[in-house]
Structure 1
Amino acid sequence: MSEAVRTYPSATGLMRRGSLADEVAIYIRHLVLTGVLRPGERIDQEAVSEALDVSRSPIREAVVVLGQEGLLTLSRNRGAFVADITPGDIAEHYELFGAVSGRAAALAAEQLSDAEIAELSAIHRRFERGSHTEMSTANHDFHRLINRGAPRRTRWLLALLERSVPADYYEFSAGVYADAVADHAAILAAIADRDPDGARRAMEHHLRQGGAAAAEALRRQGFWKDDA
């Protein structure tokens, strides 16, 4: 019996500038990290092709990249499957993300100008008071400004870590929002005080909290079958 053709959801709002392979990778990551595709499920390249209106070539490129990231497992004869990601994997990823982001925050405490710190404070106020869409933008702007002064290879690694588990795939619940506001305030205060160690610790704590929230969001979506 032939396998039924899977239909994947629209990519509206997800596509960004970049190569077709980059856009396909963003789309598949979103399907995985929002629970549309579960651990062990095969990636239906025909469904991806139809959803994005792209040929198989960029899909194959994207699948290889996602395999290197550990999000997919690849089989020469059977195709690509969602990897068996565990809550521990999510926590470990965010721990690493926090370590690198903490280094950038420590540098920001030493290097940001008074004008840039004032800009960071204004971004934080937008984050506190904005709608969900405005919060997502302010969150991105907050971290981008902190990371701006980091060495080029550090910024490259941060971008890779952020792409691998996107920060915007779960909603800001009330508790997550309150924690994030408090975390941003602590990071801002340490940077304004020119306290590199404090900025590093605050950022590491913030990303560790983010990892816990991300794992919990996936659990609520039934990402892990044993929790369904």
Structure 2
Amino acid sequence: MTDLAVIPGPEPGATPLPRRRGALADEVVSYIRGQILAGAWKPGTKIDQEAVAEALQVSRSPIREALVILGQEGLLEVIPRRGAVVADLTPEDIVDHYELFGVVAGRAAAMAATTLDEEEIEQLRAIHDRFVDGTDDDLSALNWAFHRIINRSAPRRTRWLLRLLERSVPADYYEFTDGWNAQAVGHHAAILEAIVSRDADQARRRMEHHLHESGMAAVAHLQRQGFWAS
């Protein structure tokens, strides 16, 4: 996660670059994962590959690759020669995933408390202040930037694992989880306070708590969506 820079697009009139096959599969993975974790596709729902292909304007090949990846994540049950259905996820499965994320993110936060320099801490404060102000439309981008500064403190392999875990939760969390932005403000303030105080243990615990509560909020959202029929 880096500063909120805008990546320039192609010049007007330029020929669009072709979408790479691997990037196409990632796009399909993000789309299907988002549909599941936002509660739109419930356990037992069969993945309509033709509908996905039409929605994303892709061929069946990257869809098949995406189904394998999501099967490995546990979000889908892939049935040979029959396609895939949304797995029978439980609330505990959802919370467990966020708590695992929290363990790794907590490690990064502990490192940030002892290694961030004053300029980086000021960047963290500035992002948090924009979050508190609440006038920025893209809260997800601010959240991404806040965590990126912290995650940069971690070693290369830990950052790699964090990127994997980060991609496996909805990117637009603040758009569908009612009231979560207000809770996140408090969590981020507590994490920032621990980092400023150079208290690595508190930073770790507060980050773990933040991700645990994120998981609980995700479960509450899915319950409101009727994700679990009972």
TM-score range, shorter chain: 0.7 to 0.9
Report the alpha carbon displacement of residue 171 of structure 1 after superposing the two structures with TM.
2.7
* Structure 1 residue 131, shift from structure 2 partner: 4.0
Q: CA deviation at 1:35?
A: 1.9
1:143 aligned onto 2:125: no
**Where does structure 1 lack aligned partners over 5 or more consecutive residues?**
1-15
Alpha-carbon separation, structure 1, partners of 2:48 and 2:82: 11
Percent of aligned pairs with the same residue? 63
After superposition, residues 30-179 of structure 1 pair within 5 angstroms as 30-131=34-135, 133-169=137-173, 171-174=176-179, 176-179=180-183
| Contact 1:126/1:134, CA 8 A, preserved across alignment | no
Q: Deviations over 1:199-219 (max 9, x none)?
A: 001101111111100110111
The CA deviation at 1:152 is: 1.2
SS at match of 1:133: coil
Q: Alpha carbons of 1:163 and 1:119: their partners in 2 closer, same or farther (altered >3 Å)?
A: same
The answer to whether the 8 Å contact 2:194/2:203 transfers is yes
Choose which of 22, 29, 50 in structure 2 pairs with 1:25: 29
Cα deviation, residue 134, structure 1: 2.6
Question: Of 198, 220, 226, which aligns to 1:194?
Answer: 198
TM-score, reference length from structure 2: 0.87
* TM-score where L is the length of structure 1: 0.87
Q: Deviations over 1:186-205 (max 9, x none)?
A: 10000011110010011011
Please give the alpha-carbon distance, in whole angstroms, between the structure 1 residues aligned to 2:136 and 2:31: 21
Q: How many residues align?
A: 210
Q: Is the 8 A contact 1:132 1:172 kept in 2?
A: no
Q: In the TM superposition, what is the alpha-carbon distance from 1:42 to its structure 2 partner?
A: 0.7
By relative contact order (CA 8 Å, sep 6+), the higher-ranking structure is 2
- Is 1:224 the equivalent of 2:228? yes
- Alpha-carbon separation, structure 1, partners of 2:94 and 2:115: 31
Q: CA RMSD in A?
A: 1.7
3-state SS in 1 of match to 2:176: coil
Residue 60 of structure 1 and its aligned partner are, at CA, apart by 0.5
Q: Does the 8 Å CA contact 1:107/1:150 hold for their aligned counterparts?
A: yes
- Structure 1 segments of 4 or more deviating over 6 A? none
